[in-house]
A and B are shown apart, each in its own frame.
Chain A
């Protein structure tokens, strides 16, 4: 699926991975976070092979796939508590504040089944923020979002990398982030 890929991304940068459908954007993200086994090559984080201590590496990343990992029969707040709570203790007030910061205030007690696709995406982004991980791996983070939501994703990523984090995004349309912080990787099929 992926061949001849060698790159180095530093903290404070955003790697925007683009490419046609089926080019391997999602596979690259899944390989980076260790969900896909590499037949050859290696991934290092902080100079160490991630396979040496995969749990520690996983503790440093926040991965958001195509679909937000939310249960429709739980409220937005419960979803975040059960998701983020695996990594760190999170208070209800913190959840409410973070939901407000991603533009969905007052949704903490709403069942996810009653939310629109865009609202669900924003709830998932709140989860990513609360994970407080230095590495973000985001697969189509602007999917289902209106123009305001797309701008918000750009702002969140900008703030994250300015604070010393690193983000890798698989996108069809580039996310607006300061040009000096962006690195681009276009995957070609075949």
Chain B
């Protein structure tokens, strides 16, 4: 088909790539604050799991401190997974993703913005909540800074890896289970290094090595994940 048309004046007032990403981020944040359930659900899950452990195992602080890094990270991972299912699915249903793909701007940038919004709404609050949850597990006050930093970086990496899985499972009917199956193996290194960093922080030892490995995963995710997610979204829209 050959189509020609006089080009209307669309050049004026074209926003920059940053403006476009900012707009997509602002939109997702506004929507999330209007539907607070989706923000609260993962945080409530995290808080409930971490506070139930002492009740189920033992109130003895020495034993709780031993399991605290693992409990905090497993709970954070599962809480982040809960929110991942909604990352692209709602936008796919109502045609927003189609408009993103057809807006003439980089889909990768737009997915960066969406993933950033997911982290701001899920990962960052989890990192802030973790010290309070850690109190129930006997986490010493001196470890609070380390826990917040490692969880902030670790959940960023999780959001980025999860974005690929969320995009890949867009076209499936029961995406939730598949999303978990795809994300969990990729998230295992983050879980291991994150729990190790938390344990070292609790012992007042240097946790630089596992933290740097977590940061390396986050950098890898920032570099590659939105590109892969954009490719997967394009395929799912066909």
A43 within 8 Å of B (CB atoms): yes
B102 to A58, Cβ gap below 8 A?
A: yes
Mark out the residues of chain A between 111 and 166 whose CB falls within 8 Å of any chain B CB in the assembled complex: 132-135, 163-166
Mark out the residues of chain A between 30 and 69 whose CB falls within 8 Å of any chain B CB in the assembled complex: 32-37, 43-47, 55-61, 63, 65, 67-69
Bound together, the chains give a CA A34 to CA B134 distance in angstroms of 50
Q: Please pick, from A6, A55, A68, A73, the residue contacting B34 in the complex, using a CB distance under 8 A.
A: A73
- Residue-wise, chain A 178-190 has the 8 Å CB interface mask toward B (1 for contact) of 0000000000000
Q: Chain A nearest CB: distance from B93 CB in Å?
A: 8
Assess A132 versus B104: contact at CB under 8 Å? Given A35-B237, A82-B27, A89-B15: no
A134 to B98, Cβ gap below 8 A?
A: no
B206 within 8 Å of A (CB atoms): no
The residues of B that contact A76 with a CB separation of less than 8 Å are none
Bound together, the chains give a CA A130 to CA B97 distance in angstroms of 19
The stretch of B4-12, B68-76, B143-151, B224-232 in contact with A is B4-12
Bound together, the chains give a CA A55 to CA B104 distance in angstroms of 4
- Residue-wise, chain B 5-45 has the 8 Å CB interface mask toward A (1 for contact) of 11111101111000010011011001100110000000000
Mark out the residues of chain B between 88 and 127 whose CB falls within 8 Å of any chain A CB in the assembled complex: 94-96, 98-106, 110
Q: Please pick, from A6, A37, A59, the residue contacting B1 in the complex, using a CB distance under 8 A.
A: A6
The residues of B that contact A32 with a CB separation of less than 8 Å are 1
CB nearest to A163 among chain B residues = B8
CB nearest to B11 among chain A residues = A88
B172 within 8 Å of A (CB atoms): no
The residues of A that contact B15 with a CB separation of less than 8 Å are 85-86, 88-89
A74 within 8 Å of B (CB atoms): yes
Assess A133 versus B4: contact at CB under 8 Å? Given A69-B99, A88-B15: no
CB nearest to A11 among chain B residues = B5
A47 to B8, Cβ gap below 8 A?
A: no
A87 within 8 Å of B (CB atoms): yes
Q: Please pick, from B7, B10, B101, the residue contacting A87 in the complex, using a CB distance under 8 A.
A: B10
Determine the interface band of chain B, counting residues with CB < 8 A from chain A. Answer: 35 or more
The residues of A that contact B98 with a CB separation of less than 8 Å are 35, 63, 65, 69
- Residue-wise, chain A 1-22 has the 8 Å CB interface mask toward B (1 for contact) of 0000111111110000000000
A34 to B102, Cβ gap below 8 A?
A: yes
Q: Please pick, from A10, A83, A88, the residue contacting B10 in the complex, using a CB distance under 8 A.
A: A88
Bound together, the chains give a CA A157 to CA B66 distance in angstroms of 69
A71 within 8 Å of B (CB atoms): yes
Give residues in A with beta carbon < 8 Å to B: 5-12, 32-37, 43-47, 55-61, 63, 65, 67-71, 73-74, 78, 81-83, 85-90, 132-135, 163-166
Give residues in B with beta carbon < 8 Å to A: 1-10, 12-15, 20, 23-24, 26-27, 30-31, 34-35, 94-96, 98-106, 110, 237-238
6 new A-B contacts at CB < 8 Å, known A45-B4, A47-B4, A81-B23: A70-B94, A73-B31, A88-B15, A134-B6, A135-B3, A166-B5
